[in-house]
Structure 1
Amino acid sequence: MTNTPLLKTKLDLREPVFTTLRKGIGRGWLRRLTLLSVDSTLLFAAWQVAETYGTPIASPWSVGNNPMSLLPILTTQIGVMAAQGLYEGGQKRCAYRKLIKSLTLSHIVLLIIAFFYKPGDFVSRSTFILSLLLSILFTYAGRLSVDFIIKHLRQKGAMRSPIFLICHPKDTEKAINLLKREKCYRIMGFSDLSLAEELGWGETIEHIQSLGIVEVFICYWGTIKERMFLYWNLRNAGITLNILPIGLEPFSQRSEPFMIGGIPSIKFSPPLITGSDFWIKRCFDFCSSIILLLLAAPIYLLIVLLIKLDSPGPVFYKQTRVGLNGKQFKVWKFRTMVTNADKLQKELEAYNEMKDGVLFKIKSDPRITKVGKFLRHYSLDELPQLLNVIFGEMSLVGPRPLPVRDVNNFSEHHFVRQAVLPGITGLWQVSGRSDITNFEQVIQLDFFYIENWSLLLDLQILMQTVTVLIYRKGAY
């Protein structure tokens, strides 16, 4: 048998030097206890409020008659939630659909138990329905609050698991960026996979243990010759082992992992009624645009007046843009530049701040009027594009429609963004807008939006757009 550095001190691969708890277990139990406390308190409050406003009946289940009567009720609710994995780590604690299903199921279980125990002695129908609705509402709000607090603390650098990365040098940067997106890890170090195998895993494992690492991430797991020894040494040290996919590319949000013969695979399932979500999006765009136009009518009139007083020329500016499937259309905007701006652009091409020259952006553009500068800072010049949305030429959310001049500079892979309806706002706008000076970054954001599109993602982008406009991030 060939000697390896991992077999020098012990005969049995599975034999640990000493018994230890799994690393990071304290953090996991603290999270579970916090969620359990929050859920229990809010569920108790939900039943109290339900009994206060529901129809009172003389029942041994009444909190007023017997405060301990809520113990089996809360135990049932918490038990069903735990069975659904709502106290596990990661995204499981934020599975809000499962939360609703769990609380509904627990109420059905309580109803069945009450029926066989004392059919006429549970709670009134109004109290029962109120308790269900309030349980869902209170726990939903509680979990949102806990999730918000955890994310805020992690952004400050707290509550992050110390991890170690092992991969090939060419993939290190990509892997680090992938892990940083989760905002729940603190990368303590990384190692070259080939070098670690060449020198033996002993030194690497000792280094990992000295850093107090909780989890290790490894790429190209299938190519490691001594992966059994590596696994058992990490296992005996209480360190969690994670395998990163070879491609290091994020999957769509609508993916579902499953096993085939012990090998992980990914399933991409279409919705139950395919295409319905797009037509819901179109109806939402149309109705929202009409409502916004009516509500913003006074703002429109004020902007028209300011433009007229500031500089000569028309109020609106209509520019030819390239939209869905390369079809050209006129995009509506409030005029923010002098009337001969298009002609002056040719003279300013040398000052273009976009590195690849596909787009044309200058921070201190001399063509912009005083009122135009204000409108651009708050993106108020884009308001007339609600008309383009009503006409079906644009959507509220999507890749921005670009001028013909920019599209003429496209490379072949850039044209994928023309396969969807362009939008007034999008990931580009909420991820830095004009602060992004590389068009490839814009393309990556557009690709991510197209691949991961959902109605929920649209709503998230719209909410982030409001924040971006308030703080005027990247607008000029």
Structure 2
Amino acid sequence: MVKIASPAANLDLRAPIFTTLSKGIGVDWVQRIILVLVDYILLSLAWHTTQTLCTPLDFPWKLNNLLLPIPIAHIGIMVARGLYNSNEEYCKYVSSIEALTLSHLLLLSIVFSYQSHHFIPWSTFFWAWLLSVLFSLAGRLCANFTTNKLRQQGTICNPIFIIGFPTDIEKATQLLVQENHYRIIGYLPIYALEKYGVDKIVDEITSSGAVEVFVCSWHKIEQRMFLYWRLRNHGITLNILPLSLEEIVEEKMGAFLSLKSGIPFFKLSPPLIAGLDFRIKRCFDFCLAVLIILVLSPLYLAIALLIKLDSPGSIFYQQTRVGLHGKHFNVWKFRTMVNNADKLQKELENFNEMNDGILFKIKNDPRLTKVGRVLRRYSLDELPQVFNVICGEMSLVGPRPLPLRDIEQLSETQLIRHEVLPGITGLWQTSGRSEITNFKDVLLLDIFYIENWSLWLDLQILLKTIVTVAQKTGAY
């Protein structure tokens, strides 16, 4: 384990100090496994009973074997329908009936195709379906009754923390107690986050043994993005609990609400192994960057030769950019402009097409060389930044690192984009690039990326980047 004094000061916002299993995952999976075993035993019993009392079916497999493929197929359909996803799903008796009906129809179609020339005892299928439904529902009723009894004794209740204003905490406590699913082990006033800092508060929550945190007045927390990622990296589930319709509308949560006993909330569960996804991202970045250099090395050499033949000056262009936590580093690019391009920029400031002036972008930039225009059009000038990725200064996907000139014009709240590693490409590049003329829109895309980051989102952006570059969308 690597010991780091202050995670916020050294690591990407999404980076854990160490990987850990999601809290409460043990109890959750034990319940799922028990329910699957109960379903398997009861469904096997239903088919054995049917085969004994009715006309046996001629299957391509042996039904007298204990490991029946039929109950496994039934359970597979139930898994696909999400009937084992959470502690509440097994109460959905109608969904269970639908899943069993579908699996029996699929089984019937298999039998019909296997022995369509023989007599098929339809009554056997009917009784098999009926007994499977009755046995399964009986098992779920018993599981539901047993679970409720255990929860009343506090045996399998999730220990939780509540964060909010005093009045909100009181309301949330009354609502959550009715759930009979949670054990409240601590309260935290919302102002404590600003007073003591997110890291200290999350450490306190973690040491208490809480597996979930309910937050009221989420929009009132200034460092909510930090709170979310700190909890996520510790494997703790974050539940946003709006206590009024106004909060639901303000947070735009309508499409993501879960309802439990009339309580609407937005559940943000960490992955099974918290922090592993970010480590995979860094490993993926490094391996893909090395592969790009090896495969495209002839292209690198060809571009270098063309730049040298086209105009005097160096092949590469280095510019100081601001990266993770405001640290300066040199970003590498193929040179696309004349040697004194930086000095000429001051004379061209009046032609800047970015409305707020934070970024500098103009079409038909007179400083571009002939080869430089082609490189810019296909974004080939960015290829040397793959070396920045190998050095750990950048990622393949992330907010673009900005020059010092642009950083000086940012407000303190806009510096949130520096809490993650900058990237070669990102949502800005795949959403129009230079066609977006307000930095506010760029910032919104960056924040959306940080808040919704996942390995799948990175992959989508990389694939879309290829299409965007091929179409030359917004490039100049």
TM-score, normalization: structure 1?
A: 0.50
Matching residue of 1:376:
376
Preserved contact between residue 285 and residue 389 of structure 1 (Cα < 8 Å): yes
Q: CA deviation at 1:76?
A: 5.1
Q: CA deviation at 1:277?
A: 1.2
User: After superposition, what is the alpha-carbon deviation per residue over 1:368-390, rounded to whole angstroms, capped at 9, x for unaligned?
Assistant: 11100000111000000000000
Equivalent residue of 2:356, what SS?
coil
Once residues 74 and 466 of structure 1 are traced to their aligned partners in structure 2, the CA distance between those partners, rounded to angstroms, is 42
Equivalent residue of 1:300, what SS?
helix
- Structure 1 residues 418 and 332: CA distance shift in structure 2, 3 A: same
- Structure 1 residues 319 and 245: CA distance shift in structure 2, 3 A: same
1:247 and 2:253 aligned = no
Once residues 369 and 385 of structure 2 are traced to their aligned partners in structure 1, the CA distance between those partners, rounded to angstroms, is 20
Matching residue of 2:425:
425
Once residues 389 and 426 of structure 1 are traced to their aligned partners in structure 2, the CA distance between those partners, rounded to angstroms, is 14
Equivalent residue of 1:264, what SS?
strand
User: After superposition, what is the alpha-carbon deviation per residue over 1:416-448, rounded to whole angstroms, capped at 9, x for unaligned?
Assistant: 001100000000000000000000000000000
- Structure 1 residues 454 and 250: CA distance shift in structure 2, 3 A: farther
Matching residue of 1:467:
467
User: After superposition, what is the alpha-carbon deviation per residue over 1:76-114, rounded to whole angstroms, capped at 9, x for unaligned?
Assistant: 5996477448xxxxxxxxxxxxxxxx99xx79x98xxx9
The residue identity in structure 2 corresponding to 1:247 is: E
Q: CA deviation at 1:413?
A: 1.5
User: After superposition, what is the alpha-carbon deviation per residue over 1:209-235, rounded to whole angstroms, capped at 9, x for unaligned?
Assistant: xxxxxxxxxxx9958xxxxxxxxxxxx
Once residues 377 and 369 of structure 1 are traced to their aligned partners in structure 2, the CA distance between those partners, rounded to angstroms, is 12
- Structure 1 residues 473 and 222: CA distance shift in structure 2, 3 A: closer
The residue identity in structure 2 corresponding to 1:296 is: L
User: After superposition, what is the alpha-carbon deviation per residue over 1:132-159, rounded to whole angstroms, capped at 9, x for unaligned?
Assistant: xxxxxxxxxxxxxxxxxxxxxxxxxxxx
Matching residue of 1:414:
414
- Structure 1 residues 399 and 374: CA distance shift in structure 2, 3 A: same
Matching residue of 1:330:
330
Equivalent residue of 2:274, what SS?
coil
Matches within 5 A, 1:65-80: 80=78
Where structure 1 has 5 or more consecutive residues not aligned to the other structure, the ranges are 1-58, 64-71, 86-101, 115-219, 224-243
The residue identity in structure 2 corresponding to 1:441 is: D
Matches within 5 A, 1:9-408: 60-62=58-60, 80=78, 83-84=81-82, 245-247=248-250, 249=252, 257-408=257-408
Preserved contact between residue 320 and residue 328 of structure 2 (Cα < 8 Å): yes
Preserved contact between residue 316 and residue 335 of structure 2 (Cα < 8 Å): yes
- Structure 1 residues 456 and 82: CA distance shift in structure 2, 3 A: closer
Equivalent residue of 1:247, what SS?
helix
User: After superposition, what is the alpha-carbon deviation per residue over 1:389-410, rounded to whole angstroms, capped at 9, x for unaligned?
Assistant: 0000000000000000000010
Once residues 253 and 309 of structure 2 are traced to their aligned partners in structure 1, the CA distance between those partners, rounded to angstroms, is 51
Once residues 284 and 448 of structure 1 are traced to their aligned partners in structure 2, the CA distance between those partners, rounded to angstroms, is 22
Once residues 286 and 333 of structure 2 are traced to their aligned partners in structure 1, the CA distance between those partners, rounded to angstroms, is 18
Percent identity over the alignment?
59
Once residues 71 and 302 of structure 2 are traced to their aligned partners in structure 1, the CA distance between those partners, rounded to angstroms, is 58
Using CA pairs under 8 Å that are at least 6 residues apart, name the structure with larger relative contact order, 1 or 2.
2
Preserved contact between residue 334 and residue 381 of structure 1 (Cα < 8 Å): yes
Once residues 73 and 270 of structure 2 are traced to their aligned partners in structure 1, the CA distance between those partners, rounded to angstroms, is 37
The residue identity in structure 1 corresponding to 2:422 is: P
Preserved contact between residue 253 and residue 266 of structure 2 (Cα < 8 Å): no
Once residues 264 and 368 of structure 1 are traced to their aligned partners in structure 2, the CA distance between those partners, rounded to angstroms, is 55
The residue identity in structure 2 corresponding to 1:246 is: V
- Structure 1 residues 261 and 62: CA distance shift in structure 2, 3 A: closer
Matching residue of 2:450:
450
- Structure 1 residues 82 and 447: CA distance shift in structure 2, 3 A: closer
Once residues 330 and 356 of structure 2 are traced to their aligned partners in structure 1, the CA distance between those partners, rounded to angstroms, is 26
Preserved contact between residue 256 and residue 268 of structure 1 (Cα < 8 Å): no
User: After superposition, what is the alpha-carbon deviation per residue over 1:191-217, rounded to whole angstroms, capped at 9, x for unaligned?
Assistant: xxxxxxxxxxxxxxxxxxxxxxxxxxx
- Structure 1 residues 331 and 83: CA distance shift in structure 2, 3 A: closer
Once residues 326 and 443 of structure 2 are traced to their aligned partners in structure 1, the CA distance between those partners, rounded to angstroms, is 16
Equivalent residue of 2:320, what SS?
strand
Q: CA deviation at 1:358?
A: 0.5
User: After superposition, what is the alpha-carbon deviation per residue over 1:235-293, rounded to whole angstroms, capped at 9, x for unaligned?
Assistant: xxxxxxxxx93115369xxx974334412111222223222111111000001100110
Preserved contact between residue 321 and residue 401 of structure 1 (Cα < 8 Å): yes
Preserved contact between residue 331 and residue 388 of structure 1 (Cα < 8 Å): yes
The residue identity in structure 1 corresponding to 2:468 is: V
Once residues 445 and 82 of structure 1 are traced to their aligned partners in structure 2, the CA distance between those partners, rounded to angstroms, is 34
- Structure 1 residues 352 and 222: CA distance shift in structure 2, 3 A: closer
- Structure 1 residues 403 and 77: CA distance shift in structure 2, 3 A: same
- Structure 1 residues 82 and 317: CA distance shift in structure 2, 3 A: closer
- Structure 1 residues 295 and 221: CA distance shift in structure 2, 3 A: same
Please report the RMSD computed on the Cα atoms of aligned residues, expressed in angstroms.
3.4
Once residues 79 and 420 of structure 1 are traced to their aligned partners in structure 2, the CA distance between those partners, rounded to angstroms, is 40
The residue identity in structure 2 corresponding to 1:429 is: Q
Once residues 421 and 248 of structure 1 are traced to their aligned partners in structure 2, the CA distance between those partners, rounded to angstroms, is 27
The residue identity in structure 2 corresponding to 1:297 is: S
Number of paired residues?
261
The residue identity in structure 2 corresponding to 1:390 is: I
- Structure 1 residues 447 and 82: CA distance shift in structure 2, 3 A: closer
Matching residue of 1:19:
none
Preserved contact between residue 256 and residue 266 of structure 1 (Cα < 8 Å): yes
Once residues 270 and 76 of structure 1 are traced to their aligned partners in structure 2, the CA distance between those partners, rounded to angstroms, is 29
Once residues 265 and 437 of structure 1 are traced to their aligned partners in structure 2, the CA distance between those partners, rounded to angstroms, is 36
Preserved contact between residue 399 and residue 446 of structure 1 (Cα < 8 Å): yes
